[in-house]
Amino acid sequence: MSRKPAKPPVALKARTGAAKTVSASKAALVAAKPVEVVGQTIERALDPLASALKRAALKRADKFSRAFDNPDKAAKADPAKVDKAAMPVSPLAVPFPRMTPVRGVTMATARAGFYKHDREDLLVMAFPEGASCAGVFTRHGVGSAPVDWCKRHLEASKGEGVKALVVNAGCANSFTGRPGADAVRRVASAVGKRFDCRQRDVMVASTGVIGVLLDDARITARLPEAEQRLTEDGWGAAARAIMTTDTFPKGAYAEADIDGTTVRIAGICKGSGMIAPDMATMLAFVATDAAISPGALQALCNLYTRNTFNAVTVDGDRSTNDTLLLFATGQSGAPKISRAGDRRLADFRDKLEGVLMDLAHQLVRDGEGATKFIKITVTGAETAASARKIARSVADSPLVKTAFAGEDANWGRIVMAVGKADEPVDRDSMSVKFGPHWAAQDGLIAASYDEAKMSAYMKNAELEVTVDVGVGRASSTVWTCDLTKRYVEINGDYRS
**Which sequence positions are flagged as catalytic?**
281
With 0-12 / 13-18 / 19 or more C-beta atoms within 10 angstroms meaning exposed / middle / buried, residue 299 is middle
Beta strand spans in 372-425 (E): 373-381
Residues in the chain, total: 496
**Distances in whole angstroms, Cα of residue 56 to Cα of each of 37, 49, 53, 211, 489:** 20, 11, 5, 15, 34
**How far is Cα 468 from Cα 463, in angstroms, rounded to an integer?**
17
Tell whether the torsion through CA atoms of 306, 312, 315 and 319 is positive or negative: negative
CA angle, 159 then 322 then 57, to 5°: 100
Query: What is the DSSP track for 101-138?
Result: PPTT-EEEEE--SSSSSS---EEEEE--TT-EEEEEE-
Q: Which residues contact 275 (CB under 8 A, 6 or more apart)?
A: 282, 312, 313, 314, 315, 317, 319, 363, 364, 367
For the beta sheet containing 250-258, the strands, ordered from the edge strand earlier in sequence to the opposite edge, are: 132-137, 323-328, 283-288, 261-270, 250-258
**Distances in whole angstroms, Cα of residue 11 to Cα of each of 108, 196, 471:** 11, 9, 59
With 0-12 / 13-18 / 19 or more C-beta atoms within 10 angstroms meaning exposed / middle / buried, residue 11 is buried
Q: What are phi and psi of 292, to 5 degrees?
A: -130, 130
Residue type, 86: A
Q: Which residues contact 60 (CB under 8 A, 6 or more apart)?
A: 213
**How far is Cα 291 from Cα 108, in angstroms, rounded to an integer?**
24
β-bridge partners, 165: 125, 203
Q: What are phi and psi of 109, to 5 degrees?
A: -125, 160
CB contact burial 126-165 (16+ within 10 A = b; e otherwise): bbbeebbbbbbbbebeebbbbbbbbbebbeeeebebbbbb
Residue 309 DSSP code: G
